[in-house]
Amino acid sequence: MSRLTCGEGMPDFYAKEVIQGAKCHGDWDGDAFKDAKRIFGTCRSIDSYNYKKDSEGRPLITECNKVAFFKYYTTAESMAIFDALYTNKHNLTDKFVKYWEILANKFAKNKFVIGFDPLNEPFPADFESDASLLKPGVLDKKKL
C-alpha cells in the first residue's frame, strides 16, 4: 500500500498520517487466524524487520525484496492503511475516490486505455477484530 510498508501506490503523506500508532490486535495464536498466520506470518510492525531506510524514512527496496511482498500485508501499518481505506478514516476513502475520478476523466477518451484496476488484491484489514472477514465473500460485502 505504501513505500513506508514495503509496498507501493499510496503517497507517503497520507500513509504517515494513517500509520501513526498502528498496533497489532487480536489473538494471533487462535484458530481464527491460523490460515492467515500460515500464509502471511504473524502481525508485526514494519520496523521490526530492522531494514535500512532512505532519507525519507522508507525501507530500502533492496531490503523490502528480502521478503515476499504479501508478507508485509500483516504488518500493523499495512493493516491500518487497508482499514482506513475501507472505513474512510482520515478521509482516506474520499481521497482515493477523488484520485481515481481525476485519473478516469483524464484517460476516458484515450483509445489505448480499456480499463483500470483501482484496488488490486484488496486485503481483509481489521480481521483481527472481525475474523469473519477472512471467509470468502465477507470482505466484499462488509467493507468493499
The per-residue pLDDT for range 41-64, each reduced to its tens digit, is 889 999 999 999 999 999 999 999
- Cell numbers linked to 96: 482515493
| Cβ atoms of 45 and 22 closer than 8 Å | yes
Mean pLDDT across 62-67: 96
Pick the catalytic residue from 56, 101, 121, 128: 121
**Residue range 68-109, pLDDT digits in tens:** 998 999 999 999 999 999 999 999 999 999 999 999 999 999
Beta bridge partners of 2: 10
Task: Verify whether residue 121 is a known catalytic residue.
Answer: yes
Give the pLDDT confidence score for residue 100 in this predicted structure: 92
Domain that holds residue 87: 3-142
**By CB neighbour count within 10 A (0-12 exposed, 13-18 middle, 19+ buried), where does 130 fall?**
middle
| Cβ atoms of 28 and 35 closer than 8 Å | no
Total of domains in the chain: 1
